[in-house]
Chains A and B, each alone.
Chain A
Amino acid sequence: MSEQIIERPVPADGPTAKAPQPEGKPERVASLWRDGWTDLRKRPMFLISAFIIVCLLVLAVAPGLFTARSPFSNGFCDLTNSMTGPGHGHWFGYDVQGCDIYTRTVWGTRNSIIVGVVSTVLTTVLGGVIGILAGLTGGWIDSLVSRFSEVFYALPILIGGLLVMSMVGSSNVWTVSLVLSVLGWPQVFRIMRGEVIGNKYNDYVAAARALGAGPMRIAFRHILPNTLAPIVVISTMNLGVYIATEAALSYLGIGVQSPSISWGLMINDAQDRWLTSPHALLFPAGALSLTVLAFIMLGDVVRDAFDPKLR
């Protein structure tokens, strides 16, 4: 911050062109977000997806509110119930071990949400920052970082996951998130870099530069807001995608491992019998789809509401 204040050009004529104070900026931002928020509240799609996401968050934080039983209690699973379909008192039926699928689906929310959120935050921050810097700097640094990112991106997430997970041995939500982030950031990076390059020749950037704004200021105050829309879209969507990828890794047998509960793991366990007992696969898959759906819908409406170019 201080660096920017020093760099700020001293206006020739004092009071009228008073340099924007640090608090002046938040005000403009606030109004952008406020406008967006007003816009958002009117959209039914937002209300639906926000409702689903709030429910999911509550489920993730306090699964005990929704089920009386803990899936980790002794005697929770009873093999006599194995693969029994949905019925009274057990709405989702039982899985192959005779565990109540409803309880497990509820408790599985947490791990899916953790994987989604952690991976998204890491990839967005990592990819976004590196993308802006590379896009603005250009030259050989840009080339180097681009090639470097391509290596990661080119290593398909499932293959990379396969390799890293096999090496780590026992995997949990955190290792899965880390693997997804390390392999996923180049996507955000590519888009960010593309946007920055696309924007960097725009008049407003030239104007800011003419006014003496430093590269950091140009990057984060001017270009960033204009490139945020596609990043927000891709990140919110990615949140769902990472949750789905965790499930895919589990499908390949290398995701989160039991006794941890994850939807992907539940789907993996159920797939052997899914021709005869589809319920064991459909309920966790449904929860997975609903979660992915909610985040994608949210990404969509948020984009519509906040993209300055669309408003």
Chain B
Amino acid sequence: MRGAKSAKWVAIAAVVALGATACGGGGDTGNSGKGKSDGVVSVEIGQPQNTLVPSNTYETEGGQVIHALFTGLTKIDSSNKIVNDEAQSITTKDNKVWTIKLKPGYTFHNGEQVTAQSYVDAWNYGADQTNAQQTNALFSHIQGYSDLNPGAKKTVKVHTMSGLKAVSADTLQVTLTNPFSAFPTQLSFTGFVPLPKAFFKDPKGFGKKPIGNGPYEAKTSFVDNEGISLTKYAKFPEASQYKVKGINFKVYSNQDTAYKDLVAGNLDVLPVIPTSGLATYKKDLPGHNIDVPEGAVGFIGFPLKYNKAFANPKIRQAISMSIDRNIISSKVFLGARTPADDYVSPLIDGYRKGACGESCTYNPTKAKQLFKEAGGLPGNSLEIGYNADGDHKVWVEAVANQIQKALGVKVTAKPFEQFQSILNDLGAKKYQGAFRMGWQMDYPNMEDFLRPIFSKDAINNGSNYAGYTNPQFEKLLTEGDQGATAADAIKKYQAADDVLLKDLPYIPVYFYRLNTGFSNKISSMNLIAHQIDWTSVKLG
């Protein structure tokens, strides 16, 4: 069950969670906390994968700490819009050359001034393959990225990207390889924060006790599997907006235990309620819970590129219609996920309720009929692979039972060690069965739910593990990119989405929700993109 922990990485993490506002939380201060009102709150995190270097943190656990310690150029506000944070202005004429002016008055926790050079140095470090930073690929839009990434076992000769220039102390000029309109959105990710000079002298020591430019500074060094204490940074320009005086990030290896600690009052924030608490958390923590949609979708996929058995869309439609999504959402996920009826999350502009229509509606009779028409499956059996290190067994088995019942075929849920094991077998064309798959958006845009999973490019350079291709889909996607206004773009993307809904390369099964609990010490709070919005935390 240790796997469950790394599963948390797999499930939510290794993923850039840009966007996804999660507003909510109650204002019920009736039962005021027993905790001392010293203004310090404790927050559950999992053990971060790497040391706390922003460019090497590509998962939500370490990301939570980085987010409190650092401030970037832009941020996502509570209404899911990108707004300037440390940037005074971000301007461009062609979406290719960007000029960013910094606000004055920001300092690192050691007193050093934040300048344009702090950003240039940090990004060059992050993009350099010598440093093998987890967020390396995020810098790939910047001109000169390829010089810093010649490939494995080759030495890097240039350590600065030609597209990065500190024009003056407070002006940064960034040239991209190609126009990329979502660049300001990307800048809100914690991988793009600045680094002080002290970092480059001792990256290792820095990773234990980071010197950030954000609202909180590290009071102690990070102790593996225990955590780190933060305290408010008095010289932070917007310090007055932060009511919380200190944060203790506590590492838990077992979220069930964290939940018990939350209920017992030993923990103040549990960002993701574990399954063991889902049935009762609203009763256990009245008015102190958050339940909002999240930008992620769960699918069942097929090896379309080499298994002809699934080639007929009717087969996929039949399988899709054998799944009773409502009952899976309520019984298996206890409401923590909702039935999927589109490829796009409800959080996103462009989502259409019920877009999937009949194909995603439980109808065993019609399913059986379609299945027969399409000629069934060879051997009258179907395997659905899932990675056993994630929390997928229960729902995949439930889906298997339902398909078996509806179609009368033998359906087995087949565990794989890791998600990568499934991908390896798919790559080697060894695995013939269906497989589970999840997608969490990188940024809040409809395009991010289509291109990275279903485009031709994504077969080699993304997450198109099914190997699906459709020229019509590609064409509409490109038309969407060129849309004059956001509304035009969405229209084209929706047309592309319709192509998918007809073809059903993957079967959408559920949309994720975010369930968070907090103690009586806190009267209300919000999360934005999985991360606690510390300005929103009000103490009870």
Contact = CB atoms under 8 A, between A and B. Distances in A.
When A and B assemble into the complex, do they touch directly, with CB atoms less than 8 Å apart?
A: yes
Given A79-B324, A79-B402, A253-B388, A276 B1 contact: no
A96 B331 contact: yes
A87 to B, nearest CB: 17
B331 A82 contact: yes
Interface stretch (A182-190, A203-211, A230-238, A267-275): A267-275
A84 to B, nearest CB: 10
B332 A82 contact: yes
Interface in B309-359: 324, 327-328, 331-332
A276 B280 contact: yes
15 contacts: A74-B404, A79-B327, A79-B402, A80-B331, A97-B397, A170-B415, A253-B4, A253-B388, A258-B413, A259-B412, A272-B256, A272-B275, A274-B276, A275-B280, A276-B279
Q: Is the interface of A mostly helix, strand, loop or mixed?
A: loop
Contacts of B415: 170, 257
B238 interface: no
Contacts of B397: 97, 258
B401 A253 contact: no
Nearest to A98: B331
A114 B4 CA distance: 28
Contact of A79 (B1, B280, B332): B332
A83 B333 CA distance: 12
A304 B332 CA distance: 50
Interface string A12-56: 000000000000000000000000000000000000000000000
A67 interface: no
Contacts of B3: 253
A166 interface: yes
A251 interface: yes
Interface residues of A, number: 28
B24 interface: no
A170 B421 CA distance: 13
B257 to A, nearest CB: 12
A254 to B, nearest CB: 9
B394 interface: yes
A293 interface: no
A57 interface: no
A79 B275 contact: no
Question: Top 8 A-B pairs ranked by shortest CB distance?
Answer: A82-B331, A272-B275, A276-B279, A79-B327, A77-B401, A75-B405, A79-B331, A272-B276
Place the interface of chain B in its size category: 20 to 34
A252 interface: yes
B408 A74 contact: yes
Contacts of A170: 415
Interface in B409-434: 412-413, 415, 417
B328 A79 contact: yes
Contacts of A79: 324, 327-328, 331-332, 398, 401-402
Contacts of B274: 272
B201 interface: no
A169 to B, nearest CB: 7
Contacts of B540: none
Which of B327, B331, B388 neighbours the largest number of chain A CB atoms within 10 Å of its CB? Answer: B331
Contacts of A257: 415
B502 to A, nearest CB: 28
Contacts of B277: 275
A83 B331 contact: yes
Contacts of A258: 393, 397, 413
B2 interface: yes
A96 B394 contact: yes
Given A96-B394, A273-B276, A252 B412 contact: no
Given A253-B1, A259-B412, A166 B327 contact: no
Contacts of B412: 259
Contacts of A273: 275-276, 279
Contacts of A82: 327, 331-332
A97 B388 contact: no
B1 A251 contact: yes
B327 A80 contact: yes
Nearest to B260: A275
Given A257-B415, A275-B276, A97 B1 contact: no
Contacts of A275: 276-277, 279-280
Nearest to A166: B417
A80 B402 CA distance: 11
Contacts of A271: 276
Contacts of A74: 404-405, 408
Interface string B1-28: 1111000000000000000000000000
Interface string A78-102: 0110110000000000001110000
B326 to A, nearest CB: 10
